Amino acid sequence: MTVQRWGELTSAELGAAAARDPVAVLPLAAVEQHGPHLPLETDCIIGEGLLSAAAWRLPPDCPVLRLPVLSVGDSLEHTRFPGTLSLDPETFQRVVVEWGAGVARAGVRRLLLFSSHGGNLAGADVAALRLRHDHGLLVVRGSYFRFPPPADALPAEELRVGLHGGALETALMLHLAPTQVRRRAIAPAGSLDETLIGTNRWLSAEGPAGFAWMAGDLAPGGVTGNAALATPALGERLVAHFAEALAGLIAETRAFPLQALQG
């Protein structure tokens, strides 16, 4: 296994690791409500779990530096629910840029921003461009929910509307942290998107044309989709699938020809 944890190294050891031209992976997560059945740290658990599973699937010639998880992200859409911690969007972008600047100062030139929370994506995109402009880094933006799920793992309708606390996240948690799932609280939840997708061609929460939404806009309890479809076996299958995809992305980031970056 070729993964080293950034914070466990000495400064001299980090310098030696940087000389191997590694991929630095910055996990971007969140501490936010996930309904009555999942803990506030769900996105942290999923992100770190997928990275750990991906580590064992990497080729031996792919050095990786795993940065500490940025556990509090941009969760503005969930702030009306108790327990949610959030950086405002501008602060989140600045934090990612500052961490990325530290990566550049260490001599690392490849950075993967891997998010397990959808609300981080817009800020990560802006921060990635700033880091490319200011520090010349190769900055890749990745997220497990941008990877296509395994065929027939879940109904298409659930994949469209189960944006938060639905079957996908619940299944992952049943595999990664089963004792933290409040199974008696698992229940189907409706979503405004079900109506919109049924009547609109373009406009829905995350459709071809989306709208800004707070979690309570989509469903009063802040959960969308049918978490009752989740099983531990499905979670195990999803972890293996997404970890394989993530390992492939890390390997491709390592193989990317830096001389191609001319701008």
| Tens-binned pLDDT, residue by residue, of the chain (263 aa) | 589 999 999 999 999 999 999 999 999 999 999 999 999 999 999 999 999 999 999 999 999 999 999 999 999 999 999 999 999 999 999 999 999 999 999 999 999 999 999 999 999 999 999 999 999 999 999 999 999 999 899 999 999 899 899 999 999 999 999 999 999 999 999 899 888 988 999 999 988 999 999 999 999 999 999 999 999 999 999 999 999 999 999 999 999 999 999 86
What is the reported pLDDT for 226?
96
pLDDT, position 112: 98
CA distance 28 to 161: 23
Q: Are 247 and 54 a contacting pair, CB within 8 Å?
A: yes
Contact 202, 208 (CB under 8 A): yes
DSSP H helices, 106-206, are 121-135, 156-161, 167-176, 192-199
Whether 45 and 3 have beta carbons less than 8 Å apart is answered as no
Going by the DSSP 8-state scheme, the letter that residue 23 receives in this structure is E
Q: What local confidence, expressed as pLDDT, does residue 206 receive?
A: 86
Please, what sign has the CA dihedral across residues 160, 207, 127, 58?
positive
58, β-bridge pairs = none
Spatial contact of 28 and 118, defined as CB atoms under 8 Å apart: no
Lookup result for tokens 């701008």: 263
Q: Model pTM greater than 0.85?
A: yes
Structural domains of the chain in order of their starting residue, each with its CATH number: 3-260 (3.40.50.10310)
